[in-house]
Copies of this chain bind each other. A is one copy, B any other.
Amino acid sequence: MSKQKKFILDEKNLPKQWYNIVRDMPNKPLPPIHPGTKKPLTKEELSVIFAEELMDQELSTQSYIDIPEEVLDIYKIWRPTPLVRAYNLEKALDTPAKIYFKNESVSPAGSHKPNTAIPQAYYNYKQGIKHLTTETGGGQWGSALSFACKYFNLDLKVFMVKVSYHQKPYRKIMMNTWGADVIPSPSMMTASGRAALEKDPDCSGSLGLAISEAVEMAVQNPQTTKYTLGSVLNHVAIHQTIIGEEAILQMEMAGDMPDVVIGCFGGGSNFAGLGFPFLRKNFKEGKNIRIVAVEPQSCPKLTRGKFQYDFGDMAGLTPLLPMYTLGHTFQPSDIHAGGLRYHGAGAVVSQLLKDKLIEAQSIPQLETFEAGLLFANTECIIPAPESTHAIAMAIREAKKAKEEGRNKTILFNLSGHGLVDLYAYEQYFAGNLVNYDISDDVINKSLAELEKL
């Protein structure tokens, strides 16, 4: 019989706790602060827009958080997800490196996003909340939350960036299928939306504006309505650690352990989800596993941004967060990896990067699609444009291993499949995609805005 390709955990070995890295960090993340008073926000202040238990987790310093039975029951629809040895990719690269990937594309929504959508919906439901709001760009988060809300019978309004609403009709239909109300943003339903439309009736929207609309709608009825966010914040990263906790057990099944762990990077949730449990091995077991975040060359907050307090949204309505940022007014280029078009990084990831406990790399768009196509043609799964960034980095590492003639074990996160993003591949085949090399001037101009804060 041939070699084992997939390493599948039995359902009974599904991890029962999420991991919170904050406890193990040598330097703790800085707190979110109020833009006016500049004082750290309390749980009570944050709970105006978010569910209370989520804010307990956001501010928690305990190492492990029990996953509720109700959440585990839903995780079991698609979890544990497979860990896969990419023999065919290795062969195509003629590399001595061993390449593994964690396949998060097998969830009903096609990405890792349900890992946090489910508990976020659950804790809101438990608190008696009836309505949730959120924003979505490419639609991965919006569709995951729709699926979660259907489960707990919560009403959901998704503000979808108008340009994506029209470009990605299938994502909208997915959300509708799971019962969500999808509103192209800017809309006439909020003051922020009306103001934007008054200024420019043809405004095609932005993630920042959609966040403003979703937050505004939530705070109008804080007793029954809450806002939710699919990345950046620590409670989101905590929920995603189910990925890495499973992966550790599966690497043990494979009798192996990675030298390098790779995740693509937008706000940080899939990267943290896979990487943090391995980083714990560095902290606790004296391992030296490299944890690498991969961002687009066109949105290089980790590699060329500044570590300082900034707003989470373009309009400046959120608390100030400590982050590597390009400035909240930075307008990302029109790349197809919509989930990576964000100006900042989460507070925890930012602190870890500042302390050189993790690494960051940026990769241009064409290299990522080339890598995605090689993956589709060897491992046969068509990856999401976001995930191709992790693949491209894994390929770079595998080629380096070949040049250096040494063994290396690489693990990356396949955060989602690209079946609802096939338009991007068509554009790639047609030769319509380009790289975007952002000038220092553009970045400096955007960062200069931060001095006003």
Contacts and interface: CB of A to CB of B under 8 A. Distances in A.
Interface of A: 1-2, 4-6, 8, 10-12, 69, 72-74, 76-77, 84, 106, 108, 110, 147, 150-151, 169-170, 173-174, 176-179, 373, 376-377, 379-382, 419-420, 422-423, 425-426, 429
B419 A110 contact: yes
A373 B177 contact: yes
A4 B11 CA distance: 7
A177 B11 contact: no
Given A6-B76, A169-B426, A177-B377, 15 more contacts: A2-B76, A77-B380, A151-B380, A170-B420, A170-B422, A173-B425, A173-B429, A174-B382, A174-B419, A176-B425, A176-B429, A177-B373, A177-B425, A179-B377, A420-B422
A72 B2 contact: yes
B77 A382 contact: no
A143 to B, nearest CB: 10
* Shortest 4 CB-CB contacts between residues of A and residues of B: A173-B422, A108-B380, A5-B76, A170-B422
A249 B151 CA distance: 30
A123 B202 CA distance: 56
Contacts of A376: 177-178
B422 A174 contact: yes
A261 B243 CA distance: 35
Contact of A108 (B373, B381, B422, B426): B381
A108 B383 CA distance: 10
Contacts of A169: 422-423, 426
B426 A176 contact: yes
A113 to B, nearest CB: 13
A43 to B, nearest CB: 30
B2 A69 contact: yes
A380 B151 CA distance: 8
A108 B377 CA distance: 11
Given A108-B381, A177-B422, A8 B5 contact: no
Given A170-B422, A376-B177, A380-B108, A1 B10 contact: no
Contacts of A420: 170, 419, 422
13 contacts: A1-B12, A2-B76, A4-B11, A4-B76, A6-B76, A110-B419, A147-B380, A173-B425, A176-B429, A177-B382, A177-B425, A178-B377, A419-B419
A382 B110 CA distance: 11
Contacts of A12: 1, 4
Given A176-B429, A178-B376, A382-B177, A170 B419 contact: yes
B173 A426 contact: yes
A174 B147 CA distance: 25
A17 to B, nearest CB: 14
Contacts of A4: 11-12, 76
A429 to B, nearest CB: 6
A301 B76 CA distance: 39
Contacts of A10: 8
Contacts of A422: 169-170, 173-174, 177, 420
Nearest to A114: B380
Given A376-B178, A381-B108, A382-B108, A173 B6 contact: no
Contacts of A147: 380
